[in-house]
Amino acid sequence: MLSFVLCNVGNLLEVASYFENQLQGNTHEEEEIVFVQPPNIQFSEDTISLVAQFSVNRLARFEGVIKSWPGPISAVIYLTEASEIPILHNYFQALEDPNLYDRVTLTLVKPRYDQLERYQYPINRLRNLGIKAAHTTYIYVMDVDFIPSPQLYQYARDHLVDMISKSTQPIAFVVPCVAIQENYSGVFPATVADLQKLFTNGDAYITDPRAGHGPTQYGLLLTPSIFRSKPYYEVCFESQWEPYYIVSKKGLHPLYDERFKNQGGDKQQHALHLNALGYRFLVLKDHFMYHLDHAKFSWPGGGFRSKQNTATFNFFGDYLPEMRRRFGSTFKWPRGCQNPFVLEQKRSLLGAAMH
């Protein structure tokens, strides 16, 4: 049974109180509740919403996201355990800035607490809930551990929206993502020049520089004298790529495949789908996102790791055959590239679709 609630109860503390009241006497243990709290500040549809999903142990990190993105935000919080509801209540009660969430459309998801399946973190379903709750045409789906560079929203609103809306071919503007060493204690980067210094000093690095993020071509981002005629450079899709991007919700844009849960293939499948639909992937040169490295994160319900890791759907064994049947045998080849810098990047496409 699913209960979907859309209303403005006044403030976020009352939202948490609502959930606590729902669970009194365990009368809603066997019910899933999705609660959507609209923002207090409205934006035009022709701007970009940042979309993020997380559990209550990421609330403090999410504050950094809010402060770095002055536009609309659609956030989804997954309440894995009943014990997390009073944690959420206490968090909102202690919030220093009562207006911090004014730009946030907040979706709270209480799963069925009578089923162990709730520990299979429904990452793509949460992303889709955030996308659907966003009131804008353009979205930027990211993970809550990342912080967008300070001018990204302003630039995307003033320039990317117009380019996406006027393009005759669907575009995904890729926002490069980097990691900063956990022991770094300096000033966090605001510009690509700042980022270049961190890489030179060994304070920043690329996670999974091969398949996961290699196709983003960070050598071009970190070489300021190359290809400065445009604010972006084009790359070709490669299998197992996991970029973050700004796209339009209109037209061909698909939602994320909700059969993917926990970690593994959840972002890969979406980028692959965009490629099969003929999207161009344009990487921003002057804007990025970063996260401070941290100890390995234990997913919600860490005491049930064996249950979490039960694979219900597999990227290679289940998803790829479906895509092949739908789009043909060449669905992994880069379909949307117009002017890829293959030679300049010294990155051969041989084998790019053979994974």
Identify the residue whose tokens are 């202690």: 94
DSSP string, 9-75: -SSHHHHHHHHHHHTGGGTTTT-EEEEEE--SS---SSSEEEEEEEEGGGHHHHHHHHHH--S-EEE
Instruction: Identify the band that residue 349 occupies on the pLDDT scale cut at 50, 70 and 90.
Output: very low
pLDDT bucket at 303, cuts 50 / 70 / 90: very low
The pLDDT of residue 304 is 46
pLDDT > 70 in the chain, percent? 83
Q: Is the pLDDT assigned to residue 350 strictly greater than 50? A: no
pTM here?
Answer: 0.90
Question: What band does 344 get if pLDDT is binned at 50, 70 and 90?
Answer: very low
| Among the ranges given (32-41, 181-190, 223-232, 242-251), the one the predictor scored with the smallest mean pLDDT | 223-232
Report the pLDDT value the prediction gives residue 18, as an integer from 0 to 100.
72
Spell out a b/e string for 227-247, using b for 16 or more CB atoms within 10 Å of the CB, else e: eeeeebbbbbbbbbbbbbbbb
- What pLDDT is recorded for position 10? 53
Quick one: average pLDDT of 102-122? Answer: 93
In this predicted model, what pLDDT tens digit does every residue of 180-197 receive, in sequence order? Answer: 999 999 999 999 999 999
Answer whether residue 312 shows pLDDT above 80: no
Give the C-alpha separation, 192 to 20, whole Å.
45
pLDDT at 293: 81
Mean pLDDT of 84-88: 91
**Mean pLDDT over residues 234-242, rounded?**
92
pLDDT at 209 (0 to 100): 87
Question: Which of the four pLDDT bands, split at 50, 70 and 90, describes residue 345?
Answer: very low
Burial class, 25, CB count within 10 angstroms (exposed 0-12 / middle 13-18 / buried 19+) = exposed
Query: Pick from 174, 18, 177, 5: which is nearest to 85 by CA?
Result: 18
The pLDDT tens digits of the residues spanning 327-338 come to: 999 999 999 988
Residue 60 has pLDDT above 80, yes or no: yes
Instruction: Say yes or no to pLDDT of 1 above 50.
Output: no
Mean pLDDT across 164-174: 96
- In this prediction, residue 309 has a pLDDT band, given cuts at 50, 70 and 90, of low
Predicted confidence at residue 142, as pLDDT, reads 97
Decide which of 307 and 246 is more confident: 246
Whether pLDDT at 201 is above 90: yes
**Bridge pairing between strands 104-110 and 32-37:** antiparallel
Model confidence at 275: pLDDT above 70: yes
